[in-house]
Amino acid sequence: MKKLHFEYRLSAFYTKPITEHRFLFRFLPTDTERQKLEDGNLFIANCHRYDMLTDRFGNRLVSGYIHMQHARFDVSMCGSVITGIDIFEEKTSDPYAFRFYSLQSALTQPGPSLAELSRIVQLSEYPSDYEKAFCLTERLFGLLHYDPTLTKVGDSAEQAAGKGGGVCQDFAHIMLSLLREQGVTARYAAGMLMGEGGSHAWVEVLCRGYWYGFDPTNRKLVNDEYIRVSCGRDAADCQVISGTLNGEAVQKQEEWVVVRNFR
């Protein structure tokens, strides 16, 4: 086991002032068989009251409201998480309850580019779902290029595959699409990884009643250096900030993450 300290900051900037801002913030570490949140502090600028909720995927949500006029939204949190308690995220006695994760979602629908990748990796040759996931973790690392300039935030797995790569979100979407084409139950996971930079994404696969994490971007199995904050069908279900507002403005956002060993 390992105790990790994390710090997270998100700033959203609006081109014009907005009001009546109702938001959902989704980036609180969840308790699973692999990890446990020991303590945490959350600060949201100009928001004096908020509610804690849970969505249908089991993710922790913060629901808040800012009435006053503002041109930026700032949220920060820090805390510590015990990780590496076990090698899997969750276990379930009813795997069929999660069969919807074996269906393609809006961002993982396959096309010609994904069909070509599927032909190359030949997943049908691997007998178990775990072996299929392990194969993709190894193969996609070599077949795809990590390049933030290749894709945009809303690109699908098919678009990323056609461009030959992208960022961690794209690697995860491509892996999900290829697994689901084989009938594998797999979901998108978002969170933090040891080091400094931005948030991270990987894939969790249900194998023999246990959810295991695979990181194709880094060619690794998810271990005690990872902190999970959310999961869903694809990145849209794990969107960090969403909501409604009054005003005509374009939003840009920046985030900063640091995870280190607790001292």
Say if 112 falls within a structural domain: yes
**CA distances to 132, 137, 248, 258 from 43, in Å:** 41, 36, 26, 17
19 contacts: CB under 8 Å, gap ≥ 6: 67, 68, 69, 70, 245, 246, 247
CA 71 to chain centre: 27
- Verify that 28 and 131 share a domain, yes or no: no
- Verify that 101 and 215 share a domain, yes or no: yes
Question: Mean pLDDT over residues 90-108, rounded?
Answer: 94
Rounded mean pLDDT of the chain? Answer: 95
- Verify that 76 and 165 share a domain, yes or no: no
Task: Please check whether residue 251 is in contact with residue 243, taking contact to mean a CB–CB distance below 8 angstroms.
Answer: no
| CA-derived radius of gyration, the chain | 19
pLDDT digits (tens, 9 = 90+) for 179-233: 999 999 999 999 999 999 999 999 999 999 999 999 999 999 999 999 999 999 9
- For the cut 90, the answer to whether the pLDDT of residue 136 exceeds it is yes
pLDDT digits (tens, 9 = 90+) for 24-38: 999 999 899 999 999
* For the chain, percent of residues with pLDDT exceeding 70: 100
| Count of structural domains within the chain | 2
Which of the four pLDDT bands, split at 50, 70 and 90, describes residue 248? confident
**CA distances to 28, 51, 83 from 225, in Å:** 16, 29, 7
Which of the four pLDDT bands, split at 50, 70 and 90, describes residue 249? confident
Phi then psi dihedrals of residue 231, to 5 deg:
-150, 160
Domain of 218, in residue numbers: 95-237
- Verify that 71 and 100 share a domain, yes or no: no
- Verify that 255 and 201 share a domain, yes or no: no
**CA distances to 70, 154, 198 from 217, in Å:** 37, 18, 14
Phi then psi dihedrals of residue 68, to 5 deg:
-70, 160
Say if 90 falls within a structural domain: no
130 contacts: CB under 8 Å, gap ≥ 6: 205, 207, 208, 212
Residue whose tokens read 């069969």: 99
pLDDT at 95: 84
pLDDT at 89: 96
Question: Mean pLDDT over residues 70-93, rounded?
Answer: 95
E strands, 58-135, are 60-66, 70-83
Question: Mean pLDDT over residues 55-78, rounded?
Answer: 94
pLDDT at 127: 94
Q: What is the CATH number of the domain that holds 26?
A: 2.60.40.2250
Say if 173 falls within a structural domain: yes
pLDDT at 199: 95
- Verify that 137 and 158 share a domain, yes or no: yes
Task: Please check whether residue 34 is in contact with residue 84, taking contact to mean a CB–CB distance below 8 angstroms.
Answer: yes
- Verify that 104 and 172 share a domain, yes or no: yes
Question: Mean pLDDT over residues 225-246, rounded?
Answer: 95
- Verify that 70 and 105 share a domain, yes or no: no
- Verify that 61 and 116 share a domain, yes or no: no
Q: What is the CATH number of the domain that holds 181?
A: 3.10.620.30
Residue that wins the pLDDT comparison between 40 and 171:
171
- Verify that 122 and 224 share a domain, yes or no: yes
Question: Mean pLDDT over residues 155-164, rounded?
Answer: 98
- Verify that 42 and 168 share a domain, yes or no: no
Q: How many residues does the chain have?
A: 263
E strands, 139-225, are 145-146, 165-166, 186-193, 195-197, 200-207, 210-215, 220-221
pLDDT at 247: 85
Question: H or E element: which one contains 158?
Answer: helix 157-163
**3 state DSSP class of 131:** helix
Which of the four pLDDT bands, split at 50, 70 and 90, describes residue 49? confident
Name the percent of the chain in helix, strand, coil, to the closest 5: 25, 45, 35
Question: Mean pLDDT over residues 162-170, rounded?
Answer: 97
- For the cut 80, the answer to whether the pLDDT of residue 263 exceeds it is no
Q: Which of 124-128, 185-189, 241-245 has the lowest mean pLDDT?
A: 241-245
- Verify that 255 and 158 share a domain, yes or no: no
In sequence order, the β-bridge partners of residue 76 are 9, 43
pLDDT at 181: 97
Question: What is the DSSP-derived secondary structure letter of residue 216?
Answer: T
Angle at 231 (CA atoms; ends 228, 232), nearest 5 degrees: 170
- For the cut 80, the answer to whether the pLDDT of residue 112 exceeds it is yes
